[in-house]
Amino acid sequence: MPFIPHSANDIKEMLATIDVTSIEQLFEEIPAHLRVKNMPAIPESLTEMELGRLMRSRAEQDSGLLCFIGAGAYEHHIPAAVWHIAGRGEFMTAYTPYQAEASQGTLQLLYEYQTMMASLMALDISNASMYDGATALAEAILMAVRLNRKNKSNRILLPSCVHPFYREVVKTIVTQQGIELVDVPFDEKTGRLSIETLEKMTHEEIAALVIPQPNFLGMLEEVDTLTDWVHAKKALAIAVVNPMAMALLKAPGQWGHAGADIACGEGQPLGVPLSSGGPYYGFLCCKKELARQLPGRVVGRTVDLEGKQGFVLTMQAREQHIRRAKATSNICTNQGLLVAASTIYMSLMGPHGLRQIALISHQNAELLQKKLTAIKGVELVFEGPYFHEFVIRVPRSVEFVLHQLAKSKMQGGFDLSKAYPHLGECLLVCVTETKTAEDIDKFVTALASVLSCEDHSRDKTEKTEHVRTYL
Amino acid sequence: MSELIFKLSHHGRCATAQIPRHVAQKTTIPSHLLRNDEPLLPEVSELQVVRHFTKLSRANFSIDTQFYPLGSCTMKYNPRGIHQLAMLEGFLNHHPFSLPINSQGYLSCAYELQEILKAVTGMRGVSLTPMAGAQGEFAGVAMIRAYHHARSDLTRTEILVPDAAHGTNPATAAQCGFEVREIPTDKEGNVDLDSLRKVVGPKTAGIMLTNPSTLGVFEQNIEEIASIVHEAGGLLYYDGANLNAILGKVRPGDMGFDVMHINLHKTFATPHGGGGPGGGPVAVSERLVPFLPMPIVAKKEETYYWLTGKECPQTIGRLSAFMGNAGIILRAYMYARMLGKEGMERVAEFATLNANYLLAKLKAAGFTAAYANRRASHEFIITLKIEAKELQITALDVAKRLLDYDFHAPTMYFPLLVPECLLIEPTETESKEVLDAFADALICIVQEAKIKPDLVRTAPHTLSVRRLDEVKAARELDLVYKEK
């Protein structure tokens, strides 16, 4: 009986104290005909050693590839100290800090996180985290609609250069409440938003515009112009950004004349491993006048009986356990452990380190882009500045190219042909500080060799039925 | 208490070993897109960081260090071996957009967990993607809505919720655009059937129930509730927060539920992480399978792959940027494999034995059980209304004083129906000695309240801070540190 400490004698004494004769008797209130007869699908138990053997063989199947995929999840170096400390039992096996006096470690850490993240976004306040970047965007949109009491509009401009899965998540979550999402196409030449296109979308009033930086295609948007444009329409600017990039790029609170009103995004680049897409955490920051509409846990600094500094969960009157059906959100969990890792990561990097990582990732991307576009038939799709990701068009099916690259232990990027079929056979490629000049050359050589292969007829046959990707 | 890390900061200091070398400082990015100030991140050495956060960790209670009988939260032991295996390089460095041929290791674990969850819940379909219990609830209620809409039944605008329910239930129903109707509880802790019959009707989309309820008792009329709601055309949602009480004993699918979520961080022992990450997979009966959130893992011959909206056009859609909290899914899978079939049945047995034993000890010592005539499930409620009246101490005072005895406090003031209550859930992984010591502590605290009541009223006395001023925190919001 794994993890159950009871000896036969314990059980005997405990049953006597309860005044029953068997454990079975404790379930007497459950109607007998409802009781489970058999669960054949559940295998026999394993010891830790047996489990280790099984899991090592499974992990082995997925390892050893050089990764040039980004698309919302980024490989960065994670200092050993990050998970050594975040993995301490006192952080990992505590729960939501309901008993503040017994949770000062988690609470002070969250307060420090809120300070760091708000400052990285150049906004006034931050909550203690959301589930991930996509749900943080959905909550930001719900916030904007609640705040937009003036013209009662529930139309949100959600550009197609925002992560396609973020847009799907937003749709799942906010359309339950009758919010209208308006797709804004990006400029085919620049891969960015244009004011001309936006103007065409405003025959009716809007509640907010979502501004990505960088956008899903890696491109840098003209954030000042966009922010000023949406403010002139008396609507809110919601920034969805890569937090790593904000050490280098102008941060949401600094956009245009008044700054973006809400900033959100995926915290994963800051110390969280790729781990098949989660657990990550979403961050959500805003101007202080929007505080009461902020969803999720928020930590505040206060004092104890003796006037000494301490920390508590605050503004709980917004939350589900108090307001029930009238809460700002049903969320109760945040992603505390991931936030712990990120806070340790940001502390180790400091403002200088974070900027250096953003810079070198950008420079590596430029280096790779120059080398890739020198290959015959490979072209850069959009002109203009990008951060650490860019789009190339290849002369063969992307799916074929990716499968061929995988044979040389290389993950070549994200296949855009399904999310953006009008772009043709396009690949979104990412580089971070983790790649050396040799890694970059290896990738260039591998792609050149795949593309020079004469046999074009194989493009089709390579697409076996089970080789499906996401979209 | 430790200083804020910002107070340790010295301009120009950094964790040198972590900073990349040979970075050219010039960039081709246009200057109007660049940041020209520095964010307020600390400038400290690696040792300072390690020491600061290690010290902070020591100001926490946790399962690894204390008994944590937080009702409805199932704070059981989180096996270390599982954590270590989840941190294998092949899992940690695996990109969510890796090709399926490079993802078979992870996909096989997720697929097998889906099958195990179907077996323990008695349901027909599972999606692992919801990232927490509340998101699982959202998915479930959105599926109920999608089901009615697919049948062109657009008049069902109400969700019924017992007054004892977790706050997330009505909040979720509202977030899905439903009106919430509360159903009262009878004096034995069951749903009041007469009230249910009165409100159920053509507007009823469904009912959300926890069983055993948050009152720590098994809902004895569950089959009748199911038939009342089903006959009216509504569906039944099972809030899996208390699944630990019935694991391997009775299955929600067999009780008549159509949809449920499972809190992996409770029943399947994944670490709570100071408030997350969680995991809230949803399981459904046959008629809701087409509406499950995407993606789901499918298997053809010996190959695993993702099912998406293309193959399942009626899906309610995606709930996370990728495929949910994969690392939590892995841990839950490993826990299920370690328990195996026999171990899984033992979970409910020993969780229930521990709860009933502790309740029996406390009753014998004079404490008042909220539902004295009922058998406790995996948790139970004591009410301190007599102590509050006679000794002028509150449930809050007792909870805070327990911290001085090195026990985490139980859940307080929930459910809202029971005055001055403590909701106590010991879980199956605690030994008899721990339960005895906890009962002794509660007995001592009541004694203290008789002799030195201020000691209890001003507790805690031994932690890094004394009792904190929550009113000040809410009135004078101080949410970020500002440099003077």
Q: How far is B477 from chain A (nearest CA, A)?
A: 6
Task: Please name the helix (run of DSSP H) or strand (run of DSSP E) that holds residue B160, with its range, or none.
Answer: strand B158-162
User: Under CATH, which architecture does the A66-76+351-461 domain have?
Assistant: Alpha-Beta Complex (3.90)
Instruction: Cite the DSSP H helix spans in A65-187.
Output: 80-86, 89-92, 104-120, 133-147, 164-174
Q: Which of A67, A278, A356 sits opposite B325 (nearest CB)?
A: A278
Select from B3, B37, B94 the residue whose CB has the most chain A CBs within 10 Å, as the one to mutate to test that interface. B94
- pLDDT tens digits, residue range A155-166? 999 999 999 999
Contact (CB<8Å) B171/A52: no
Residue A423: CB atoms within 10 A of its CB come to: 16
Q: Would you state the pLDDT for residue A151?
A: 66
Give first-to-last CA distance, chain A, whole Å: 43
Q: In angstroms, rounded to a whole number, what is the distance separating the alpha carbons of residues A381 and A376?
A: 14
Confidence (pLDDT) at A176: 82
Q: With 60 as the cut, is the pLDDT of residue A299 above it?
A: yes
Is B44 in Cβ contact with A350 (below 8 Å)? Answer: yes
Q: Is B306 helix (H, G, I), strand (E, B) or coil?
A: strand
Average pLDDT rounded to a whole number, residues B108-136: 97
Instruction: Name the fold adopted by A80-344.
Output: Aspartate Aminotransferase; domain 2 (3.40.640)
Whole-number pLDDT of residue B279: 96
pLDDT band at B138 (very low <50, low <70, confident <90, very high): very high
Asked if A116 contacts A345 with a C-beta cutoff of 8 angstroms, the reply is: no
Distance from CA of A217 to the nearest CA of B (A): 15
**Residue A464 clears pLDDT 80, i.e. is over it:** no
Residue A241 CA to residue A357 CA, distance in Å, equals 16
* A158-192 residue pLDDT tens: 999 999 999 999 999 998 888 999 999 999 999 99
Among A155-159, B4-8, B58-62, B341-345, the range scoring the smallest mean pLDDT is B341-345
Task: Verify cis geometry, omega within 30 degrees of 0, for the bond prior to A214.
Answer: yes
Are the Cβ atoms of B464 and A104 closer than 8 angstroms?
Answer: yes
Ranges in chain A annotated CATH 3.40.640.10: 80-344
Decide if pLDDT at B285 tops 80. Answer: yes
Question: Is there a contact between B275 and A106 if contact means CB atoms under 8 Å apart?
Answer: yes
Tens digits of per-residue pLDDT, B298-326? 999 999 999 988 899 999 999 999 999 99
pLDDT band at A461 (very low <50, low <70, confident <90, very high): very low
**B22 → chain A, closest CA residue:** A360
Q: Which helix (H) or strand (E) holds B443?
A: helix B432-451
- What is the residue-wise DSSP string for B199-213? H-STTEEEEEE-SS-
Which one-letter amino acid corresponds to residue B239? D
Chains A, B: CB contacts under 8 A, how many?
692
Percent of chain B with pLDDT over 90: 95
Q: Tell if the CB–CB gap between A330 and B93 is shorter than 8 Å.
A: no
pLDDT at residue A454, as a whole number: 64
Residues in chain B within 8 Å Cβ distance of A163: 321
Determine the pLDDT at residue A150: 66
Whether the pLDDT of residue B335 is over 70: the answer is: yes
A176–B145: do the CB atoms touch at under 8 Å? Answer: yes
Chain B closest CA to A48's CA: distance in Å? 6
Q: Which residue of A has its CA nearest to B352?
A: A26
ipTM of the complex: 0.97
- pLDDT value of position A456: 53
pLDDT band at residue B439 under the 50/70/90 scheme: very high
Query: Across all residues in chain B, what is the average pLDDT?
Result: 96
- Residue contact B273–A173, C-beta within 8 A: no
CATH top-level class of B82-339: alpha beta
For the stretch B19-61, pLDDT in tens is 999 899 999 999 999 999 999 999 999 999 999 999 999 999 9
Min Cα distance B390 → chain A (Å) is 25
Contacts of A344 in chain B (CB under 8 A): 49, 53
Q: What is the pLDDT of residue A38?
A: 83
Which part of chain B is CATH 3.90.1150.10?
347-470
Looking at chain A, the domain(s) classified CATH 3.90.1150.10 span: 66-76+351-461
Which residue from A3, A101, A112 is facing B465, i.e. has the nearest CB? A101
A2, amino acid identity: P
What's the pLDDT at B44?
Answer: 98
pLDDT confidence of residue B119: 96
- Six token digits for residue A331: 């969320």
CB contact under 8 A, B429 and A3: yes
pLDDT at A204: 86
Q: Hey, how many other C-beta atoms are within 10 angstroms of the C-beta on B58?
A: 14
What was the pLDDT predicted at B151?
97
**pLDDT the model gives residue B22:** 87
Domain with CATH 3.40.640.10 in chain B: 82-339
Q: pLDDT grade, residue A317 (50/70/90)? A: confident
Mean pLDDT is lowest, of A142-156, A316-330, B50-64, B310-324, for: A316-330
Chain A environment of B132 (Cβ under 8 Å): 131, 331-333
Question: What is the spatial distance between Cα A268 and Cα A333, in angstroms, rounded to a whole number?
Answer: 17
- What pLDDT digit, counting tens, does each position of A223-244 carry? 999 999 999 999 999 999 999 9
What is the percent of chain A with per-residue pLDDT over 70, rounded to a whole number?
95
If we measure between CA atoms, which residue out of B268, B403, B202 comes closest to residue A102? B403
Tokens of B289: 């399978």
The hierarchical CATH code for the domain B347-470 is 3.90.1150.10
Q: Report residue A332's pLDDT band, with 50, 70 and 90 as the boundaries.
A: confident
Element containing residue B297 per DSSP (H, E): strand B296-300
Instruction: Quote the Cα angle for A408-A410-A416, to 5°.
Output: 125
- The nearest alpha carbon in chain A to B38 belongs to A351
Q: Do B53 and A315 touch (CB under 8 A)?
A: no
Closest CA to B247 of B341, B366, B359, B372: B341
Interface contact A351-B39, CB threshold 8 A: yes
B386 Cα to chain A: minimum distance (Å): 23
Q: Residue B112: how many CB atoms within 10 A of its CB?
A: 18
pLDDT bucket at A462, cuts 50 / 70 / 90? very low
A428-441 confidence digits (pLDDT tens):
999 999 999 999 99
